[in-house]
């Protein structure tokens, strides 16, 4: 594209080029572009704005090429990536996920379907029924149905079905009085973990030691008072004070 008048006036060869182009009908007020994909589509370009009508190098029509998935390309006519290797089809996927013909993939066509996650109700080997994703194996599914069971400790508990009784922690408070302090154990029932309380450390304040300290303090105070009284009597006797009675309290 260019100004032929200006080119012809400033060069000896361009007048010859102009004559050749006119004979070939290849010169005019616009550039004619024919789409490689849609040969009947012709675009006349006079300015740079006209190129914007052809953003993908083809024409203004939609591509509409059929893809491997069966859907059709929705892009504007494009010259590159004609095999659509880089194209992501965003139509709803129509793949069947499992043996149930009603379980259709809910993703976009270009996304990997993955396992069937439709919710289904199935009977488990324990006899209960559970709602689970379709692809899960009911024989390996952990039943969470609550059942009343007697634990190894003798207490009854409501636990999820899949947990064995000896693996379920008893929630009943331990009622054992710990020796030698006599305080009650603050843990829940723990028949499988230090049942004899050999490792148990009582964190309560030791009342026995506290009472012993108070008794010792009282004895010390009484002893001090008796000594003061005895010293006072002795002093009076040494001074010759008559009729002094000794305190025996």
The pLDDT score that the predictor gives to residue 183 is 83
| Angstrom distance (rounded) from CA 104 to CA 117 | 10
Strand 76-78 and strand 57-62: pairing? antiparallel
Asked if residue 45 and residue 27 are part of one domain, the reply reads yes
How high is the pLDDT of residue 234?
Answer: 61
Q: Strand, coil or helix: what is 79? A: coil
Report yes or no on 122 lying in a domain.
yes
Query: In 30-171, which ranges are continuous DSSP H helix?
Result: 48-51
pLDDT at residue 212, as a whole number: 59
In 3D space, the residue among 89, 129, 136 whose CA is nearest the CA of residue 108 turns out to be 89
Does 211 fall in a domain? yes
- Flag whether the pTM goes above 0.75: no
**Per-residue pLDDT at 193:** 87
Contact 102, 115 (CB under 8 A): no
Q: Residue 120's pLDDT is what?
A: 97
CA atoms within 13 A on the CB side of 20: 6
Please name every residue paired with 173 in a beta bridge, in sequence order, or none if there are none: 188
Which segments in the chain show pLDDT lower than 70? Answer: 1-2, 207-224, 226-227, 229-249
Instruction: Identify whether 52 is part of a domain.
Output: yes
| Measured distance CA(24)–CA(120) in Å, rounded | 73
Pair (136, 153) in one structural domain:
no
Instruction: Name the domain count of the chain.
Output: 3
Of 1, 5, 114, residue with least CA distance to 50 = 1
Tell me, what's the pLDDT at 130?
Answer: 96
CB 142 within 8 A of CB 162: yes
The verdict on 73 and 117 lying in the same domain is no
């Amino acid at each position: 594209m260019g100004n032929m008048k200006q080119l012809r006036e400033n060069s000896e060869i361009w007048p010859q080029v102009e004559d050749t182009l006119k004979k070939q009908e290849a010169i005019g007020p616009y550039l004619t572009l024919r789409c490689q994909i849609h040969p009947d589509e012709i675009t006349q370009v006079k300015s740079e704005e006209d190129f914007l009508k052809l953003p993908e190098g083809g024409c203004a029509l939609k591509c509409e090429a059929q893809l491997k998935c069966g859907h059709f390309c929705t892009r504007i006519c494009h010259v590159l990536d004609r095999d659509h290797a880089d194209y992501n089809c965003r139509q709803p996927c129509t793949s069947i996920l499992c043996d149930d013909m009603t379980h259709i993939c809910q993703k976009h066509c270009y996304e990997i379907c993955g396992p069937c996650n439709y919710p289904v109700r199935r009977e488990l080997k324990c006899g209960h029924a559970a709602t689970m994703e379709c692809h899960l194996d009911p024989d390996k599914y952990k039943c969470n149905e609550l059942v009343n069971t007697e634990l190894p400790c003798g207490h009854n508990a409501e636990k999820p079905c899949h947990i064995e009784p000896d693996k379920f922690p008893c929630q009943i408070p331990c009622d054992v009085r710990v020796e030698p302090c006599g305080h009650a154990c603050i843990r829940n029932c723990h028949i499988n973990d230090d049942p004899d309380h050999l490792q148990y450390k009582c964190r309560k304040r030791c009342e026995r030691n506290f009472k012993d300290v108070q008794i010792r303090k009282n004895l010390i105070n009484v002893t001090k008072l008796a000594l003061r009284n005895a010293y006072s009597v002795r002093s009076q006797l040494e001074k010759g004070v008559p009729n002094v009675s000794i305190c025996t309290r």
